[in-house]
Chains A and B, each alone.
Chain A
């Protein structure tokens, strides 16, 4: 049972090391989907295991047993949880839940701001808004429907195919609702910091996915790479803040390589592995909580026997 309880944490550690390798073996769309599910499963089950351990330690306090009408001794016999372990688990779980809660509230506020901005921008032409700004840039703003905002400064440096590439890339983000993937991955990483590399890989995979879609639309991978290069070079240099989801190798280099020299991929196996790990995580979380529940029920029945 200890093995099962430790499994989600061990798997999170493994993911910390292996996320980049796993993501590299898949086509970006599958990397994004499989990793997001895995991150969510790992974060949730780690939380469940920590809460269960903390709860058991609490339940083994005799006073708690008297108050809740269960035999704390019987529980301590069957599932001994040292007080230190219980307290640490409680602390970590509390921090995790608070951090996730704060992050969620912030995210919802930002989404509300995005929705307001969408309304203020108007519907544009099929969601496309051209802005007159010296900053050359383009972005997708999620909404119902979303908007694509592109500055004239960027459009001027691109040729016709490259313009098409940028529009197709942003349209792909909206069509596939990539912001959902990003937000879920980030939430998981906030709840369980071991998942940060995996969440960063989700970010990267989502960009590669949109690049691939753009390449299909334009029919020319080089054009997308050129658009990327020109957009990056026209972008005013920004000192990148220390992001929570930094990746070791530059995203741009990765995107260019994906477009011009796509590496060989074995998506099937990598996805199967990730799905297996997701199921293992979920299974262990369920097993641990079911076991704890069963022990508690046993302790309750022992309590009523002891009373008589």
Chain B
């Protein structure tokens, strides 16, 4: 059972969800994609708020809107900074550096183990009703 979301968590998840999908999404599509039983109004309010903060753009679709990530020069600059920084700090060969990465590096033996894991869990998910 997942626990209740903290403030800000939902906005981050919605942003991640929109980033993963290349096409703009309507509130209904977002509601279906984000885990947990979210009310439609919750999703719509959050999307509207994020649009107000200029984190999202929107276009008319039917009687509602479809939302997408903002794609502007500022974002592109942010991309450069983020990974320049990572390369800079990586280069110091300091594993416990200031950045804490999700996965630091992959070793040879790991690859097989992880592929195996993904195949097994995939199978068990397909078996679920």
Q: Given that A139-B100, A164-B35, A219-B3 are contacting pairs, would A132 and B11 also be in contact in the complex, using a CB cutoff of 8 Å?
A: no
Report the separation of the CA atoms of residues A285 and B117 in the bound assembly, to the nearest whole angstrom: 48
The 7 closest A-B pairs by CB, nearest first: A219-B2, A126-B8, A241-B93, A155-B20, A229-B114, A243-B95, A131-B79
The A interface is mostly helix, strand or loop, or mixed, namely helix
Can you name 15 extra interface pairs (CB under 8 A) apart from A125-B53, A128-B16? Answer: A110-B97, A121-B81, A128-B15, A130-B19, A138-B101, A142-B98, A149-B82, A206-B100, A219-B3, A229-B117, A238-B106, A240-B104, A246-B95, A252-B110, A260-B117
In the bound complex, residues from chain A placing their C-beta under 8 Å from that of B17 are 160, 163
Do A113 and B82 touch (CB < 8 A)?
no
Q: Given that A125-B53, A226-B117 are contacting pairs, would A156 and B85 also be in contact in the complex, using a CB cutoff of 8 Å?
A: no
In the bound complex, residues from chain A placing their C-beta under 8 Å from that of B69 are 130
User: What is B's interface to A at a CB cutoff of 8 Å?
Assistant: 1-3, 8-9, 11-13, 15-17, 19-20, 33-35, 50, 53, 55, 69, 74-79, 81-83, 85-86, 88-90, 92-107, 109-111, 113-115, 117-118, 121, 124
Interface residues on A, range: 35 or more
In the bound complex, residues from chain B placing their C-beta under 8 Å from that of A182 are 96, 100
State whether the Cβ of A64 lies closer than 8 Å to any Cβ in chain B. no
State whether the Cβ of A222 lies closer than 8 Å to any Cβ in chain B. yes
Report the separation of the CA atoms of residues A219 and B99 in the bound assembly, to the nearest whole angstrom: 26
Residue of A nearest to B115 (CB): A233
Residue of B nearest to A218 (CB): B2
Do B96 and A203 touch (CB < 8 A)?
yes
In the bound complex, residues from chain B placing their C-beta under 8 Å from that of A183 are 96, 98
Report the separation of the CA atoms of residues A117 and B86 in the bound assembly, to the nearest whole angstrom: 10
